[in-house]
Structure 1
């Protein structure tokens, strides 16, 4: 499946947020009203089609109040279609493209890889179909309601795995019971047993350059182990599987120190809209901060002062997933 929940989390309650990268970070190229992205085989941005494995066209459609984007991806070597769909504005959500309606993906040989459907809130609905490169059905998933979002009050859904088959058509799972494997485009995967649509027993996978194992009881993680290439084994449990990045001092003091450090003339402050400035930045695997991002209407002197104040406070404790440090983005508000 295309989405992985293992690498990054959106920390809504604490203000943590994974931001869509800026155009400069992604190496985008504009052609009239069309934006072109280029990606390597791991999904990382590259600058030209010649060094890419796939590329993406993004075209704005509709008016400003109901703007949509038609997003079409292609394989670079054959120019055959890789995916097709429509999305809301990624900058509005902060977590990337939010597809609505039908979204389809294709293998390099032109065969259908997946067909998914999303509602106006970009939540998966109805049934989703996944196929092998031969055209045989791989997996059938339907969505069932799981309550309402505590943040926006819209119905939430969760996947119910109806069928999973091997490449020659043998059933490995039926109605939420049996073996299943989730593959991602970056060659990461996780596989194990479902019981009544819940993870049970030992699950195995590969990501971030290492194998790992996780034990589940009734869909709850009991413990996990990562087997690093150097032979080291990293253990974790439910509480330590995913840890957010933390600043070098307590967050309340961190924010107050930044606000006290900023030195901007009053007439520039008066030009700003609102009482606070929103700034996003990335904390890398070593805890260094960078890739600062502000709204376009923020004065450049304010940007310089906030950026300098945050950088001067030093390294963070990096976020971790399954014991491994990961880059994560943080969004905060600074009052002037």
Structure 2
């Protein structure tokens, strides 16, 4: 397979379908080849995601246990003190994380004291030399600029699913709201983190559509999380089946081929994957995971940092070291 080391933003739906639907081992071979052309295949970026404000969200995302309208066991937690967040970030750095992401269960950012506190958190984590990321819901261009000036490295705002399937999962906002926030982030000079979730009841065509939207953006997201639905009791999607591992592998491999320079993050759902299954995802081009001392990813179970470091060692992989740079490229 001869590779032209250049990025494309003009993929067609038919091309994405053909890549996604090809025989699995051929897809894996192509993705692994692309991965080795663009990245060090031995490196995996270890990231930590902390919920700094939990639950009570007014949105109705069908997969999310933090939506106030669903009866779940998740405890509502007000915005954490800045000192607590910084202590978590220090611990994450000691455990080998190079990116620290702070998540707040908000529909949108509001210009109030809580946002002022988020700004202080961003400044504090940035001073530790970590890539600091936030996921706070929708935000305006002015708010994005304020976050960038505070030292924000990346902003996460997933598409979740395809534009066509979006209103089956969320009714309290629309797909264009997602795109607008991503555009505000990009315009502010912040690195974009945007991917989606599979296992929501979507079709293969929906998965292809979501990948097409991401890969035809004027600039690919620097970070593309691929999540398997973490089924939360009390949410509308709690009875859906576990996502088959080969579906995750197909998504990761296709994302790797379409967006070769991006960091593809193996995100939610790892708690239900064996070490062997995760190895297939790394073979397909995933080069980042989320880990943590509390063994949670936001509010759902996740492998702990010691387990993850042992897994990487078993597979001959190693945590990626921090690259100190002032640009917003990964």
Which TM bucket (shorter chain)?
under 0.3
Give TM-score, length-normalised by structure 1: 0.26
Which entry has the higher C-alpha Rg, 1 or 2? 1
Between 1 and 2, higher relative CO (CA 8 Å, sep ≥ 6) is seen in: 2
Give TM-score, length-normalised by structure 2: 0.26
Which has a greater percent of helix? 2
